[in-house]
Amino acid sequence: MCLSLVVRGQNVIPLYQDEIPGSIPDTNYIEKERIEKGVGKLVSQVSVPTLTLHLPQNPNGMAVIICPGGGYSVLLMEREGNEVAKAFNKLGITAFVLKYRLPNDRIMKEKSMAPLQDVMQAMKIVRQNAKGWKINKNKIGVMGFSAGGHLAATLATHYNDSLIENKKRTKLRPDFMLLIYPVISFQDSIVHKGSRKNLLGEEPTKKQIEYFSNEKYVNKHTPSAFITYAKDDSVVLPENSIHFIEALKVNGIYTGEEVYDKGGHGYLKEPSFDDWFIACVNWLKNRF
């Protein structure tokens, strides 16, 4: 393990050792936290990205990078991050919670690419330090909730794009993806408007909309996927998941899905965490 990367209680890893790519320094732009009933801690104005490492007592070689949701406006760091990581640890799976930069023109030269750069950098760090963390380099996946699911799917479909420094040419392709009520597409008919507005601005170009509509970039090399959503989700329309699943299956990608009649967005009341998480874990067991 690269101990020099570990700071603050020996579990929080800065993504970048030197300059954060595309950043605009602003000492008055400060990260904020608040507690919201039902979802717990929310973090906003993230300008310094990190990975929080959760090591299991008996690692089985598998690892997952978790991208919390929040519409590219906030991050649900506990409910869709650290709490999930701890559940993976109980199964021997090493987990990393990614606190990715939240797009803002004030502190970024190209805000649309900052979150994607961060998840790419996270994958690079995990793969390069896999031996020290007792991780199998071929069993590293990415997980995302809502807009975090969009970020995870963007990595899984755009991993070959050169957006970060990668002198060792470390593989950035995840070996699997776990998408929980995900945003997938930025097409007008099914878009979650808040996520698109926060990432791309008020008037995105056709090229930007196309690039971040991940269902259009699935091919035979796309990683296998587990996807869960509820039919009554009125925030992120089910068509996001449906179109992505269709594209995966057309390309022969190993895909699992867990669909609920009720649950809305965020699974705040149903299904239970154990319900969808067990389905996710069972898919992983079958995958590896």
Cα–Cα dist 75/63, whole Å:
21
Condensed to tens digits (0 to 9), the pLDDT of residues 113-166 reads 999 999 999 999 999 999 999 999 999 999 999 999 999 999 999 999 999 999
Number of domains into which the chain is organized: 1
Alpha-carbon Rg of the chain, whole angstroms? 17
Condensed to tens digits (0 to 9), the pLDDT of residues 217-247 reads 999 999 999 999 999 999 999 999 999 999 9
- Side chain identity at residue 28, one-letter code: N
Dihedral angle over CA of 206, 223, 101, 195, nearest 10: 40
User: CA 166 from chain center: how many Å?
Assistant: 20
Dihedral angle over CA of 144, 149, 154, 160, nearest 10: 20
pLDDT of residue 4: 39
Cα–Cα dist 247/110, whole Å:
29
Condensed to tens digits (0 to 9), the pLDDT of residues 63-87 reads 999 999 999 999 999 999 999 999 9
Where in the sequence is the domain holding 202, given as residue range(s)? 3-287
pLDDT of residue 3: 39
Cα–Cα dist 226/224, whole Å:
7
Cα–Cα dist 225/222, whole Å:
9
- Reduced to 3 states (helix: H, G, I; strand: E, B; else coil), residue 178 is strand
Confidence grade of residue 254 (pLDDT, cut at 50, 70, 90): very high
- % of the chain at pLDDT higher than 90: 93
The reported pTM is 0.96
CB 101 within 8 A of CB 75: no
Condensed to tens digits (0 to 9), the pLDDT of residues 22-45 reads 999 999 999 999 999 888 899 999
- % of the chain at pLDDT higher than 70: 97
- Side chain identity at residue 233, one-letter code: D
Q: What is the CATH number of the domain that holds 177?
A: 3.40.50.1820
Those residues whose C-beta lies under 8 Å from the C-beta of residue 224, and which sit 6 or more positions away, are: 175, 176, 177, 253, 254, 255, 287
Q: Beta 40-44 vs 32-36: how paired, if at all?
A: antiparallel
